[in-house]
Protein backbone atom coordinates (compact mmCIF):
# COMPACT_ATOMS: atom_id res chain seq x y z
CA UNK A 1 0.00 0.00 0.00
CA UNK A 2 2.91 2.36 0.71
CA UNK A 3 4.11 2.14 -2.90
CA UNK A 4 0.60 2.75 -4.25
CA UNK A 5 0.09 5.79 -2.05
CA UNK A 6 3.52 7.16 -2.95
CA UNK A 7 2.67 6.88 -6.64
CA UNK A 8 -0.71 8.57 -6.16
CA UNK A 9 0.66 11.39 -3.98
CA UNK A 10 3.45 12.00 -6.50
CA UNK A 11 0.94 12.05 -9.33
CA UNK A 12 -1.26 14.52 -7.45
CA UNK A 13 1.69 16.80 -6.66
CA UNK A 14 2.61 16.80 -10.36
CA UNK A 15 -0.98 17.67 -11.29
CA UNK A 16 -0.87 20.65 -8.90
CA UNK A 17 2.41 21.81 -10.41
CA UNK A 18 0.91 21.56 -13.91
CA UNK A 19 -2.38 23.27 -13.06
CA UNK A 20 -3.18 26.90 -13.81
CA UNK A 21 -2.69 28.22 -10.29
CA UNK A 22 -4.68 31.36 -11.03
CA UNK A 23 -7.74 29.07 -11.07
CA UNK A 24 -6.90 27.53 -7.70
CA UNK A 25 -7.29 28.92 -4.19
CA UNK A 26 -4.96 31.60 -2.82
CA UNK A 27 -3.30 28.83 -0.83
CA UNK A 28 -1.61 27.68 -4.06
CA UNK A 29 -0.09 31.01 -5.17
CA UNK A 30 3.37 30.06 -3.92
CA UNK A 31 3.02 26.27 -3.90
CA UNK A 32 4.50 24.40 -2.06
CA UNK A 33 5.21 27.32 0.30
CA UNK A 34 2.37 27.99 2.74
CA UNK A 35 -0.02 25.73 0.86
CA UNK A 36 -0.27 22.63 3.01
CA UNK A 37 -3.86 23.15 4.11
CA UNK A 38 -5.69 23.13 0.78
CA UNK A 39 -3.18 20.76 -0.85
CA UNK A 40 -3.73 18.24 1.95
CA UNK A 41 -7.52 18.54 1.77
CA UNK A 42 -7.51 18.06 -2.01
CA UNK A 43 -5.09 15.13 -1.82
CA UNK A 44 -7.45 13.56 0.71
CA UNK A 45 -10.35 13.97 -1.73
CA UNK A 46 -8.27 12.41 -4.51
CA UNK A 47 -7.64 9.33 -2.34
CA UNK A 48 -11.32 9.16 -1.36
CA UNK A 49 -12.36 9.30 -5.02
CA UNK A 50 -9.95 6.46 -5.79
CA UNK A 51 -11.51 4.31 -3.05
CA UNK A 52 -8.83 4.53 -0.34
CA UNK A 53 -11.18 5.65 2.42
CA UNK A 54 -11.28 8.89 4.36
CA UNK A 55 -7.88 10.17 5.55
CA UNK A 56 -7.32 12.26 8.66
CA UNK A 57 -6.29 15.85 8.16
CA UNK A 58 -3.59 16.97 10.60
CA UNK A 59 -2.62 20.57 11.23
CA UNK A 60 0.41 21.23 13.37
CA UNK A 61 2.66 23.99 14.54
CA UNK A 62 6.41 24.13 14.96
CA UNK A 63 7.40 26.74 17.49
CA UNK A 64 10.82 28.26 17.79
CA UNK A 65 11.53 31.29 20.03
CA UNK A 66 11.45 33.71 17.08
CA UNK A 67 9.41 31.69 14.63
CA UNK A 68 6.12 29.87 14.35
CA UNK A 69 5.51 27.55 11.42
CA UNK A 70 2.20 25.97 10.62
CA UNK A 71 1.97 22.86 8.49
CA UNK A 72 -0.67 20.38 7.37
CA UNK A 73 -0.65 16.83 6.03
CA UNK A 74 -2.93 13.81 5.91
CA UNK A 75 -2.70 10.37 7.44
CA UNK A 76 -4.31 7.18 6.19
CA UNK A 77 -4.08 3.91 8.10
CA UNK A 78 -0.95 5.05 9.95
CA UNK A 79 0.73 6.37 6.80
CA UNK A 80 1.70 10.05 6.54
CA UNK A 81 1.16 11.70 3.15
CA UNK A 82 2.79 15.12 2.86
CA UNK A 83 3.15 16.97 -0.43
CA UNK A 84 4.35 20.34 0.92
CA UNK A 85 7.05 19.71 3.55
CA UNK A 86 9.64 20.95 1.04
CA UNK A 87 7.92 24.33 1.32
CA UNK A 88 9.19 24.52 4.91
CA UNK A 89 12.40 22.51 4.67
CA UNK A 90 14.16 22.79 1.33
CA UNK A 91 16.18 19.63 1.99
CA UNK A 92 13.02 17.50 1.97
CA UNK A 93 11.64 15.69 -1.08
CA UNK A 94 8.49 17.09 -2.72
CA UNK A 95 6.46 14.04 -1.69
CA UNK A 96 6.70 12.15 1.58
CA UNK A 97 4.70 8.98 2.10
CA UNK A 98 5.90 7.12 5.16
CA UNK A 99 5.02 5.40 8.39
CA UNK A 100 8.04 7.10 10.00
CA UNK A 101 6.91 9.97 12.24
CA UNK A 102 10.38 11.59 12.41
CA UNK A 103 9.64 14.93 10.72
CA UNK A 104 6.01 15.17 11.72
CA UNK A 105 6.47 14.48 15.42
CA UNK A 106 8.28 17.85 15.65
CA UNK A 107 4.94 19.58 15.08
CA UNK A 108 2.52 20.07 17.95
CA UNK A 109 -0.82 18.77 16.66
CA UNK A 110 -3.42 21.52 16.77
CA UNK A 111 -6.18 19.83 14.81
CA UNK A 112 -6.88 16.33 13.57
CA UNK A 113 -10.06 14.99 11.97
CA UNK A 114 -11.39 12.98 9.01
CA UNK A 115 -11.48 15.18 5.93
CA UNK A 116 -12.97 15.58 2.48
CA UNK A 117 -13.79 18.73 0.54
CA UNK A 118 -17.44 18.37 1.58
CA UNK A 119 -17.02 19.18 5.29
CA UNK A 120 -16.23 22.90 5.07
CA UNK A 121 -19.60 24.54 4.44
CA UNK A 122 -21.29 25.32 1.15
CA UNK A 123 -19.09 28.23 0.01
CA UNK A 124 -15.76 26.63 0.93
CA UNK A 125 -16.84 23.31 -0.56
CA UNK A 126 -17.61 25.04 -3.87
CA UNK A 127 -14.21 26.78 -3.91
CA UNK A 128 -12.34 23.59 -3.01
CA UNK A 129 -14.33 21.52 -5.53
CA UNK A 130 -13.51 24.00 -8.30
CA UNK A 131 -9.78 23.89 -7.44
CA UNK A 132 -9.89 20.11 -7.21
CA UNK A 133 -11.50 19.80 -10.64
CA UNK A 134 -8.92 22.17 -12.10
CA UNK A 135 -6.08 20.07 -10.66
CA UNK A 136 -7.39 16.72 -11.82
CA UNK A 137 -8.35 18.07 -15.23
CA UNK A 138 -12.14 18.16 -15.02
CA UNK A 139 -13.75 21.29 -16.37
CA UNK A 140 -16.71 22.56 -14.38
CA UNK A 141 -19.29 24.73 -16.14
**Residue 128's domain spans which residues?**
2-136
- Does residue 125 sit within a domain? yes
Angle at 8 between CA 123 and CA 91, to 5 degrees: 95
- Does residue 81 sit within a domain? yes
What is the pLDDT, as a whole number, of residue 139? 55
Q: pLDDT 10s per residue in the chain (141 long)? A: 999 999 999 999 999 999 998 899 888 988 998 777 899 999 999 999 999 999 999 999 987 767 778 899 999 999 999 999 998 888 899 999 999 988 899 899 999 999 999 888 898 899 999 999 999 997 553
Confirm if 97 and 76 have CB atoms less than 8 A apart: no
- Does residue 57 sit within a domain? yes
- Does residue 105 sit within a domain? yes
Closest CA to 113 of 61, 70, 59: 59
- Does residue 40 sit within a domain? yes
Q: How many domains does the chain contain in total?
A: 1
- Does residue 141 sit within a domain? no
Distance (Å, whole) CA 115 – CA 52: 13
- Those residues whose C-beta lies under 8 Å from the C-beta of residue 22, and which sit 6 or more positions away, are none
Amino acid sequence: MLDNLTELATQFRQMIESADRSKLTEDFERFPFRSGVDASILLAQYLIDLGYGIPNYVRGELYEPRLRWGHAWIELDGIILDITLDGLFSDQPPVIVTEDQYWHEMFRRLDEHPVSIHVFGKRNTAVLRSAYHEIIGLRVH
